[in-house]
Amino acid sequence: MESLITDAKEKFGKLIQQQLERVERMKNQEDFIQYDQLDTIVIGVVGGDGIGPSITHQAQRILEFLLQSEIEKGKIKIKEIQGCTIENRAKVGKAIPDDVLEELKQCHVILKGPTTTPRQGDPWPNIESANVAMRKELDLFANVRPVKVPELGIDWTFFRENTEGAYVLGSQGFHVTEDVAFDFKVITTQGVERIARSAFDFARKNGKKKVTVVTKANVVKTTDGKFLDICKEISKEYPEIEMDDWYIDIMTAKLIDEKRRTQFQVFILPNLYGDILTDEAAEFQGGVGTAGSANIGKQYAMFEAIHGSAPRMVEEGRAQYADPCSIIRAAAMLLSHIGYIKEADQLTQALDICTITEKKLTITGRDTGATSGEFADYIMETIQTLS
């Protein structure tokens, strides 16, 4: 028993050390990169697994179409990054192979298709999720997920903390004995301050009047309690914005309360609650296949589809029928993030026309509907009709 406890202490000690070092890095972090001051903005494109390469390729075509003159001028460079596949990750036993990580770090922004996260019972070794690893390695702390359903009066923007909470130490839990297992969750002052400021700054810039913090601070008192306290502190810097706070359980219920839900505007959540609530929220908009997601850090930013890699579609030979809307929305968010607002608006408008108002093509995921390539063509034709 003594030696089990000594082992456990040692493991916990290492986690504490890592997190203390991380806090020092956060304290010394530079400010946000300014894209307009770069000679060339490098956009990395990572296909991922399963249906990923096929839908990501279509989003890349659209980016190349919209940015054609910028690419010709050398202002934008699009760089395809291979090797972030589950086969390759399993082979080298890493969430992100070293050479892939090096290439990612040479980009300014990244468009990423879904990557398979191994789970128990899969044929893959139990490596960490490539998403989680990329967010951690590139310090992409703000996971921004907008959900809009105008006809229901829904216009929400979620700010999910991406680099701490129950997630970052998720692959570092351990089994003390056959019967006892531990996971860890960490919250830091610097980590909460930066996500809270991002959310309040967004609210201020976009004329939003309310920011809602979601935790379970009544039960998970230490870490969630700290998260909530720091959000309250930061909110004092934004006196014109009202902050309220809810617990995650009742919040999941209130999103289906038709009267209440239209009052919410901007949310701040720790990692795990943000993961759960954004899937629920996306469902009102037509499912996770329709939502895009931005992962923003001070140096890098990554834009991704919020759905999985759907290996079954590939096994059944249906990859070309996968819905590319989520990754195309992610591409629109990428454009706006690097300052190409006009192109981002055109793409968002075209997406709305093609998926809501005009809907000349439908995607069913099978040969009864359009392929992702046909859909991308439809988007580009629609952009051409916009003035």
Residues near ligand IPM, by CB under 6 A? 117, 129, 131-132, 275, 306
Half-sphere exposure of 231 (CA within 13 A, CB side): 33
For 99, 118, 207, 239, 263, the CA distances from 242, given in Å and listed in that order, are 46, 41, 12, 7, 12
Rounded to the nearest angstrom, the gap between the alpha carbon of residue 319 and the centroid of all alpha carbons in its chain is 22
Candidates 53-61, 118-126, 209-217, 274-282; binding stretch for Mg ion (CB under 5 A): 274-282
Which of 139, 161, 275, 304 is close enough to bind Mg ion by CB under 5 A? 275
Decide whether 130 or 217 has the Cβ nearer to ligand IPM: 130
Asked if residue 49 binds Mg ion (CB under 5 A), the reply is no
Measured distance CA(94)–CA(328) in Å, rounded: 28
Candidates 76-84, 151-159, 275-283, 335-343; binding stretch for Mg ion (CB under 5 A): 275-283
Q: How many CB atoms lie within 10 A of CB 40?
A: 11
Decide whether 61 or 307 has the Cβ nearer to Mg ion: 307
Q: Are 375 and 354 in contact (CB under 8 A)?
A: yes
Decide whether 161 or 275 has the Cβ nearer to Mg ion: 275
Measured distance CA(373)–CA(200) in Å, rounded: 38
Which residue's Cβ lies closest to ligand IPM?
129
Here the tokens at position 182 are 């531990």
Rounded to the nearest angstrom, the gap between the alpha carbon of residue 194 and the centroid of all alpha carbons in its chain is 16
At its nearest, how many Å lie between ligand IPM and the CB of residue 103?
A: 21
Q: Which residues contact 179 (CB under 8 A, 6 or more apart)?
A: none
Decide whether 163 or 382 has the Cβ nearer to ligand IPM: 163
At its nearest, how many Å lie between Mg ion and the CB of residue 355?
A: 21
Decide whether 143 or 188 has the Cβ nearer to Mg ion: 143
Binding site for Mg ion (CB under 5 A): 275
